[in-house]
Structure 1
Amino acid sequence: MTATPGELLSHRPALRPDILLSPALLHGPATVHLIKEPDSGAAFEVGVKEYFLISRLDGVRSLGEIGGEYAEAFGKRLAEAHWQQLLKLLGTRGLLAGAPPRPAPAAPAATPLNGTLLRGTLRLVADADATTGRLHRRLRPVLRAPVLLPLTGLMVAMEVLLAANLPELGRDTWWLVRQPVALVAVFTLLWLSTALHELAHGVSARHYGGTVSEIGLRWRLPAAVMYCTVDNYRYLRTRWHQFAVAGAGAFANLLFLLPFLAWWAALPEGDPTRRVLSGLLLLGSVQALVNLLPLPPLDGYTMLGHALRVSQLGPESGRYLRLCFSDRPAAAAYPRRARVLYLCYGLGSTLLVGLILAALATGLYFHLVH
């Protein structure tokens, strides 16, 4: 039996409480929101108007009340057919409270090892979310501003001190390159730092309400690194939470170096151990700071995307710049904010890559000359 318009508008449907809704994101010329069904992991984009309606399905307001708010905001009242279409979509996707449960996705085969000898992944824990949850419970007392802010100050002071001693660090690092045993020890410590980097992302995500789906080892011989897959970045409550999760890895890298800085400072210049530590501090700092550059796939790029609330910043910037040359009317149709962001990022990232290449070429030139 089909409900009459009056009956339909008196309904008070509600989204399932576990459905995830993202804040507004710029994606190309459009502003969108992401909606995710956590059981299946399925996510899809909706426009601003659709989000306005969906986000108000709280089981308290009737469709008529929501329709009134919509008419006030957008100057148009929804017809019954629009409501039926929206509710059918949400019901089909299993997003409404009380809807029949969707079939659970088939459990993947228990194959922690994927790939070949030359390239692949190895899942290291059966339940990554539970593992990071245990780590978070142990570290929670220190994940507070009174602890993190002084540590951040110490790390900034460390980088200033290392910058002031850059000539010594450079000479000692060049010496280290010719000491195979010491070099292996330094790279082992840096590898451990990358593992802590990945776990820091996971612990930070758990601290702010995110989830972790996998912790493992990824290799492309001869390189092998740990990875930690954080889900639900886009659905965290605030921009700061998203920013903090993305930046937690570099924070862990620099925190890892602090004890070695104290050891380095206690030794006289020219001491062999101090020279090894110089190499560790320089290479470790480069590892952390390079990761903060706003270039994909680095963490700095993710942080910038969260700060600007932009999805696919790099690809969409490239697409917009191509339109500027090939289809100017289409490029002009972008909203002003999109035009400014994509133009600035496209030109800025190109300039940044050029400066990095120029700096590397200059350093190589002077090294070969001298």
Structure 2
Amino acid sequence: MSATPPGAVEGLAEYRPELGPQVLLSDAMLQGAATVHLIKDTAGGGSFRVGAKEHFLIARMDGSRSLAEIGEEYAREYGRRLDGARWQQILRMLGTRGLLAGAPARPAGGPASTPAPAPAEPDRGLLRGSIRLVADADATTDRLHRAVGFLLTPGWLVPLLALVLAMEVVAALRIGELLDATKGLFGNPVLLVGAATLLWFSTALHELAHGVVARHHGGTVAEIGLRWRLPVVIMYCTVGNYLYLGSRWQRIQTALAGAVMNLLFLLPFCALWLFAPLDTATRDALGALLLLGSVQALAMLVPFPPLDGYRIASQLCGATELAGSTVAYLRLAASRDPAAGDYPRRARNAYRAYGLGAVLVLVGIAAAVVVAAHRLLTT
């Protein structure tokens, strides 16, 4: 029998460690200038951060590789071997947290870098609060996915997105007519309430779309509920493992799903506005709904918290939401810290491209507001 290879724990060279099925690993992210990976125990709820080298080792603990084989891969990647003490430290860390298959679950109160917070009593009051609408949000989302998930296949999604693009082109070309219709809508309280109700309903679909797309990519939904900060009342949908979805593109799709749903919601109203024989008041109400709904959807893509564009920008930059604000991403883009590797360059490129789109959206919204205000003041 061959001797224990260097870089493996003595007596455990052939040990094949395997992470438990409840363990989730994230892609590389940035916290400040440091590259980190998140590891989550879905059974216990705890999560913690590790560096790129630790992630390299842990990600290969799938039961098919021995410690000796993992050690050889590590040596080829990083040009050095781990000694027995370091291996023992890593295995002890995983074992005490109950993350290795066959290891006992971590008892309550056991070690964890970021323990799951205890469920808090709902903070409800007359002016602000929240309430869950369904007992099992994940099961509800799963049923919705089974019902409408076929729309996420290319055969359906590509034509729908093409129709959305055509709708927005028509809206841009006829912006003057839509602005006049919006002005008229605000002079008709009954139609205004109807349009506001439809826009609120579209925000509810917006939230559910986040959950359905996350479920399509193997995600889980932790909570669906209603949140109020009077006079604003909105639905919310919390994707429990958003940062652990399989790829950055899947996370971007999940964040983008809400705005796309808002625009898809407008398609039948746009068709009625364009082709149905309607009276002037109803047609103007539909035109106003098209304009207001489009502005609502596109404004969500601006990269400022807590809008969807904030999460999209964070994924484009490779940064984790732990960074906390758009300002942090901008500082990251300007970073020259060698510890961040090529992330600052990627962040700069991502923000240039995404920021240009956000500026165009803001300019368009501002122009529409200025034109509408001018027409109101001159008529």
TM value normalised by structure 2? 0.85
Separation in 1 of the partners of 2:138 and 2:200?
Answer: 23
- The answer on 1:33 being equivalent to 2:33 is no
- Letter of the aligned partner of 1:12 in structure 2? R
What is aligned with 1:230?
A: 239
CA offset digits 1:132-160 (Å, max 9, x no partner): 11111111333311011101100100110
Tell me the percent identity: 52
What is aligned with 1:54?
A: 58
Q: Say which of 337, 345, 356 aligns to 2:342.
A: 337
Separation in 1 of the partners of 2:14 and 2:329?
Answer: 45
- Letter of the aligned partner of 1:153 in structure 2? A
In structure 1, the residue corresponding to 2:38 is in which secondary structure? strand
Separation in 1 of the partners of 2:332 and 2:150?
Answer: 51
Q: What is the correspondence of 1:232-247 to structure 2 with a 5 Å cutoff?
A: 232-247=241-256
Q: What is the correspondence of 1:111-122 to structure 2 with a 5 Å cutoff?
A: 114-122=123-131
- Which stretch of the first structure deviates more once superposed, 234-243 or 332-341? 332-341
What is aligned with 1:366?
A: 374
- Letter of the aligned partner of 1:301 in structure 2? Y
Rate the CA distance shift 1:306–1:337 in 2: closer, same or farther, 3 A: same
The alpha-carbon deviation at position 239 of structure 1 amounts to: 2.5
Q: What is the correspondence of 1:241-320 to structure 2 with a 5 Å cutoff?
A: 241-267=250-276, 271-312=280-321, 315=324, 318-319=327-328
Rate the CA distance shift 1:27–1:360 in 2: closer, same or farther, 3 A: farther
What is aligned with 1:20?
A: 24
Does the 8 A contact of 1:22 with 1:236 survive in 2?
yes
Does the 8 A contact of 2:221 with 2:237 survive in 1?
yes
Does the 8 A contact of 1:317 with 1:342 survive in 2?
no
In structure 2, the residue corresponding to 1:7 is in which secondary structure? coil
Gaps of 5+ in 1: none
CA offset digits 1:239-280 (Å, max 9, x no partner): 322222111111111111111111111246971100111111
The alpha-carbon deviation at position 301 of structure 1 amounts to: 2.1
- Letter of the aligned partner of 2:87 in structure 1? W
What is aligned with 1:165?
A: 174
The alpha-carbon deviation at position 67 of structure 1 amounts to: 1.2
Q: What is the correspondence of 1:140-151 to structure 2 with a 5 Å cutoff?
A: 140-151=149-160
Rate the CA distance shift 1:360–1:43 in 2: closer, same or farther, 3 A: farther
CA offset digits 1:299-318 (Å, max 9, x no partner): 12212322332213974763
Q: Say which of 62, 77, 84 aligns to 2:81.
A: 77
Does the 8 A contact of 1:317 with 1:345 survive in 2?
no
Does the 8 A contact of 1:37 with 1:43 survive in 2?
yes
Separation in 2 of the partners of 1:22 and 1:202?
Answer: 19
In structure 2, the residue corresponding to 1:95 is in which secondary structure? coil
Separation in 1 of the partners of 2:171 and 2:368?
Answer: 20
Gaps of 5+ in 2: 109-115
In structure 2, the residue corresponding to 1:26 is in which secondary structure? strand
Separation in 2 of the partners of 1:286 and 1:107?
Answer: 39
The alpha-carbon deviation at position 119 of structure 1 amounts to: 0.4
CA offset digits 1:185-208 (Å, max 9, x no partner): 100000000001111111111111
- Which stretch of the first structure deviates more once superposed, 293-302 or 97-106? 97-106
The alpha-carbon deviation at position 108 of structure 1 amounts to: 4.7
- Letter of the aligned partner of 1:56 in structure 2? R
CA offset digits 1:159-198 (Å, max 9, x no partner): 1011111001001101111211111110000000000111
- Alignment size in residue pairs: 362
What is aligned with 1:102?
A: 106
Does the 8 A contact of 2:24 with 2:40 survive in 1?
yes
Separation in 2 of the partners of 1:22 and 1:319?
Answer: 20
The alpha-carbon deviation at position 6 of structure 1 amounts to: 2.6
- Letter of the aligned partner of 1:34 in structure 2? L
Does the 8 A contact of 1:15 with 1:97 survive in 2?
yes
The alpha-carbon deviation at position 73 of structure 1 amounts to: 1.1
- Which stretch of the first structure deviates more once superposed, 341-350 or 278-287? 341-350
In structure 2, the residue corresponding to 1:155 is in which secondary structure? helix
